[in-house]
Structure 1
Amino acid sequence: MWHPFSVPCGRGVPLFGINLITLTWKGFFAMKYIRSEKYSTRAINDLLMGPNPVKLTEELLLDHQIPNGATVMDLGCGRSVTSVFLAKEYGFRVFATDLWISATENRQFFDRMGLSGDRIIPIHADATALPYAEEFFDAVVSVDSYQYFGRDPEYLGRHLLPLVKHGGYIYICIPGMKKDCHAQLPPELLLSWTPEQLDTIHDADYWRNIISQTRGVDILSIHEMESNEEVWNDWLACDNEYARGDRKSMEAGGGKYLNFIAIVLRRR
């Protein structure tokens, strides 16, 4: 899902005085987007609404606990490239749920991708009025959209958690800040986004505080993701008016304040 800011986190390394052990460690353990490679096509890139959501999803689901064949909601799926990825690569039955993109448009995309209606179902719905039965889903996956509605401390317990089976999982990926700086926003960030737009992003401590207010859910992990520079570069290379606007902050170095945050939850 596109959001009104996008900046990659630069991780430049000086050529001199470099620590060889550190470099070797990073290179060895760097995120490998093995599943995502086949989705690096012009047709997919033209559908992006923000930093590469396919690669973000692949990292988010490393060592995931969702069983094959599970019924999964892709919440805030946008143009549903993540929904196709979940169905094809993980074998889930996916309910692709979004407010901004119509179910008809997403259904046409699924047809082009060769996915039948029983494997992936497009739903047009608001995140606060989801048309599903309680305990319907084995899991929920939400990539780059939860920041719009999940900042309400009551959202998780009132609107989302009841739809997940007991013992089921919620995997969330959101754009974040390394450290909240809303009291004094860096000028680099304001080159592309207003303070109101930037209010959708916060640091990991902020999200831990929000989620910990919900009963009946275990926080398994809240951590900074490795995916930053590569997913941003994929987005900023797009010939898209929003991507072009986001380049201003990127080129000014605003990415050093930003990251992506993974949240993994389990319903008790």
Structure 2
Amino acid sequence: MNTSFTDTFDRDFLLETMMGPNAMRITEEMASFLPISPGMRILDLGCGMGISSILLAQKYDVTVFAADLWVSPSDNAKRFASLGLDSKVIPFLVDATKDIPFAHEYFDMIISVDSYQYFGNNEHMLPKLLPFVKKGGFMAVAIPGFVQEYPEGQLPKEVQPYWTPEWYFYSCPWWRTLWEKEASIVLTDLREMDSCKQAWDDWLQSPNPYAQRDSAMMEAGAGQYFNIIQLIGRKI
């Protein structure tokens, strides 16, 4: 059995930089479904502290534009430089809901891991982002969600004490319906990701106080209703 890149990476570094279920592990699985080749330009939108960007740059030898709203690009730049990636991963401060500071048809792919649900759960974001992707390029997102759609007021009892509307958790069919409204992209892949449990288990070992809060939720059994949804579309 081949050892994953994520499992060989500095564990302490990962635990300190996770901001949710292990984004490096999730990115590694999703990337295996994408035609990534050296020299590509990839926008990592909502990169957090950049562990998804690090995976892409180190494993695939691509140039990554690491964009986030909440994490300082100066802090990310130091992190990338500490790994010798300052010429491969370029940090930006970007609010996806506002102007996006890149050229049209500049990227081979846009990737978003555990962040797209916050700004992309509407009919406006895909048509806004796709002009920045080359024709034939890909849009790929991995988002936490529910294994099925739960009508308002009918969440499982294990989830109810912890749930807030700001989770923006939806099901695979919900996301399929949304993406199929966009005529300039063909949905090539929609699946529940295999790394869901391991990514959550990694996160719960982080010293991040949000991880400690999530431990009680997972111990209560809420995780049996969670998945991580992979959506990949090709621009036509």
Q: How many residues align?
A: 234
Percent of pairs with identical residues: 37
Residue 256 of structure 1 and its aligned partner are, at CA, apart by 1.2
Residue of structure 1 equivalent to 2:24? 54
Residue of structure 2 equivalent to 1:24? none
Which residue type is aligned with residue 64 of structure 1? L
Q: Which has the higher contact order (CA 8 A, sep 6+)?
A: 1
Which SS does the other structure have where 2:189 is aligned? strand
Residue 187 of structure 1 and its aligned partner are, at CA, apart by 2.6
Residue of structure 1 equivalent to 2:66? 96
Residue 44 of structure 1 and its aligned partner are, at CA, apart by 2.2
Determine if the alignment matches structure 1 residue 160 to structure 2 residue 129: yes
1:120-199 to structure 2, matched below 5 A, reads: 120-128=89-97, 129-157=99-127, 159-183=128-152, 184-194=154-164, 196-198=165-167
Residue 229 of structure 1 and its aligned partner are, at CA, apart by 1.4
1:230-249 to structure 2, matched below 5 A, reads: 230-249=198-217
Note the alpha carbon deviations across 1:24-61, whole angstroms, 9 max, x for none.
Answer: xxxx9xxx651212224202210110111111011111
Which residue type is aligned with residue 180 of structure 2? S
Unaligned 5+ residue runs, structure 1?
A: 1-27
Give, in whole Å, the separation in 2 of the partners of 1:33 and 1:104: 32
8 Å CA contact 2:15–2:205 kept in 1: the answer is: no
Residue of structure 1 equivalent to 2:43? 73
Deviates more, 1:132-141 or 1:184-193: 184-193
> Which ranges of 4 or more aligned residues in structure 1 deviate by more than 6 Å?
none
8 Å CA contact 1:154–1:214 kept in 2: the answer is: no
Give, in whole Å, the separation in 1 of the partners of 2:151 and 2:10: 35
Residue of structure 2 equivalent to 1:42? 12
Give, in whole Å, the separation in 2 of the partners of 1:240 and 1:97: 21
Give, in whole Å, the separation in 1 of the partners of 2:160 and 2:39: 44
Give, in whole Å, the separation in 2 of the partners of 1:43 and 1:258: 26
Give, in whole Å, the separation in 2 of the partners of 1:52 and 1:191: 24
1:195-206 to structure 2, matched below 5 A, reads: 196-198=165-167, 200-206=168-174
Note the alpha carbon deviations across 1:138-179, whole angstroms, 9 max, x for none.
Answer: 11111111101111112101x210000000011111101110
Give, in whole Å, the separation in 2 of the partners of 1:36 and 1:217: 30
Note the alpha carbon deviations across 1:190-249, whole angstroms, 9 max, x for none.
Answer: 33332x123x11000000111111121110011111112111111111122101111122
Give, in whole Å, the separation in 2 of the partners of 1:104 and 1:190: 38
8 Å CA contact 1:135–1:163 kept in 2: the answer is: yes
Task: Rate the CA distance shift 1:46–1:214 in 2: closer, same or farther, 3 A.
Answer: same
The normalised TM-score by structure 2 is: 0.95
Larger radius of gyration: 1
Note the alpha carbon deviations across 1:37-95, whole angstroms, 9 max, x for none.
Answer: 22242022101101111110111111421222100000100000111111011111000
8 Å CA contact 1:134–1:164 kept in 2: the answer is: yes
Which residue type is aligned with residue 69 of structure 2? L
Give, in whole Å, the separation in 2 of the partners of 1:114 and 1:190: 44
Residue of structure 2 equivalent to 1:211? 179
Which residue type is aligned with residue 177 of structure 1? F
Which SS does the other structure have where 1:121 is aligned? strand
Task: Rate the CA distance shift 1:208–1:143 in 2: closer, same or farther, 3 A.
Answer: same
Unaligned 5+ residue runs, structure 2?
A: none
